[in-house]
Structure 1
Amino acid sequence: MEQIIVEGLEVFGYHGVYEQEKEEGQIFVVNCWIDTSFAGAIHSDDLSNTVDYGNVCLFIKKYFAENAHDLLEKVADELATSIMYAFPGVQKLVLEIKKPHAPIPMEFANVGVKVEKAWHQVALAIGSNMGDKEKYLTDAMEELISDPNVRNVIVSDYIETEPYGYVDQDKFLNGAATIETLLSPEDLLAFLHRIEEKADRKREIHWGPRTLDLDILLYDDSCIHTKDLIVPHIDMCNRMFVLEPLMQIAPGLVHPVRRRTIYDLYYMLKEKENA
């Protein structure tokens, strides 16, 4: 991944806790490091095929001119997110904002904050076995697509499968989706739970019937083990109803623990089931 660098960009704004800062404003210094791909620009030598750092600078200047917040932490987070939304070619951004004239009653070189944002690659399992199953799945995907913190949503075909674990229930409609998201694993999980709640999801029987089930299978190459979330999904390698639709849309994704692609895991499970 290549990088575009902007350093020492001076902008004027009214961010600060104290009334003098709010009324008189001050100079801020912005640095940012943008991870992106140069491939399109190298082959075409065309500005439209890269992230235009001139427009990034103007965007930052405009943000400072039109917004005012008490805390620099708020400024940095909001500005970084806005840049990610506005410039699709930005894969990852490190943004640093310095406040050289902060009202501190002593000598100092500088004070500031730094934030990092990135588009994370995520694989999801989706399923339903109650009511209008296809509508539940389709509505959930539309919720994802409409959220600004999610992009590049790719959804597999839906397949009908027998229930897993608790078998005294209707057949499932299962699928998979890959997305890119700015959300942390915890925030993404909370978002998925809100979508499930809109579909009146109940958690009464383990592996029991449900209107909607949204599971995080993979999040970049992260390994997460908390009370609420385990990634990679603990049983995904044993579930054909997970691997088959994921194989359709992302066969090259790598399981960070098994160090095998979805393609490999699919055919390994297929061979095991046919043995």
Structure 2
Amino acid sequence: MDKIFMNKMEFYGYHGAFAEENKLGQRFYVDVELEADLSKAAASDDLAESVDYAEVYETVKSVVEGPPFNLVEAIVQAVLNKIFQAFSIVERATVKVIKPDPPIPGHYDSVAVEMTRERG
């Protein structure tokens, strides 16, 4: 299976289990790996036979900058659901959502959740 990667897309959302996170918001980074048969696109050089990266970005943005979730896990699943709804060519997808500077005492980098799902 062929793959398309989109890495470190940056968004601002209001997700988290704490009221402050829902009020103040924060940055989120998203990595997406899409698996599809890209042979027709490669042969035809036609975007209609592939996945439009701008549309993927807007799809992810609609979730991450949309209504709040308590858990990063729920954000990831919602992104996966939207990807499969929007792009029929995608057979398998991996989505990783990175939450930098989580409100965890003594924790200074990030937390992340990654899930892989297949069209089913």
* Aligned twin of 2:5: 5
Q: Which amino acid aligns with 2:53?
A: Y
Give the whole-Å Cα distance in 2 for the aligned partners of 1:64 and 1:42.
31
* Aligned twin of 2:23: 23
Give the whole-Å Cα distance in 2 for the aligned partners of 1:35 and 1:79.
15
Q: Deviations over 1:154-173 (max 9, x none)?
A: xxxxxxxxxxxxxxxxxxxx
* Aligned twin of 1:99: 99
* Aligned twin of 1:35: 35
Tell whether the 8 Å contact from 1:76 to 1:113 is kept in structure 2 after alignment: yes
* Aligned twin of 1:62: 62
Q: Which amino acid aligns with 1:105?
A: P
* Aligned twin of 1:114: 114
The structure number with the bigger radius of gyration is: 1
Aligned residues: CA RMSD: 1.1
Give the whole-Å Cα distance in 1 for the aligned partners of 2:51 and 2:67.
24
Tell whether the 8 Å contact from 2:59 to 2:79 is kept in structure 1 after alignment: no
Tell whether the 8 Å contact from 1:94 to 1:114 is kept in structure 2 after alignment: yes
Considering Cα pairs closer than 8 Å and 6+ residues apart, tell me whether 1 or 2 has the greater RCO: 2
TM-score (normalised: structure 1): 0.42
Give the whole-Å Cα distance in 1 for the aligned partners of 2:36 and 2:54.
15
- Distance apart, 1:59 and its partner CA: 1.1
Would you say how many aligned residue pairs link Structure 1 and Structure 2? 120
Q: Deviations over 1:113-172 (max 9, x none)?
A: 0111102xxxxxxxxxxxxxxxxxxxxxxxxxxxxxxxxxxxxxxxxxxxxxxxxxxxxx
TM-score (normalised: structure 2): 0.94
Percent identity over paired residues: 29
List aligned pairs for 1:250-265, cutoff 5 A.
Answer: none
Q: Deviations over 1:177-222 (max 9, x none)?
A: xxxx2xxxxxxxxxxxxxxxxxxxxxxxxxxxxxxxxxxxxxxxxx
Give the whole-Å Cα distance in 1 for the aligned partners of 2:76 and 2:22.
17
Moved over 6 A (4+): none
Structure 1: give runs of 5+ residues left out of the alignment. 120-180, 182-275
- Distance apart, 1:53 and its partner CA: 1.6
- Distance apart, 1:76 and its partner CA: 0.9
* Aligned twin of 2:85: 85
Tell whether the 8 Å contact from 2:13 to 2:68 is kept in structure 1 after alignment: yes
Give the whole-Å Cα distance in 2 for the aligned partners of 1:59 and 1:90.
14
Tell whether the 8 Å contact from 1:81 to 1:117 is kept in structure 2 after alignment: no
Give the whole-Å Cα distance in 1 for the aligned partners of 2:79 and 2:89.
16
Are residues 1:49 and 2:49 paired? yes
Q: Which amino acid aligns with 1:42?
A: A
Q: Secondary structure at the match of 1:17?
A: coil
Q: Which amino acid aligns with 1:52?
A: D
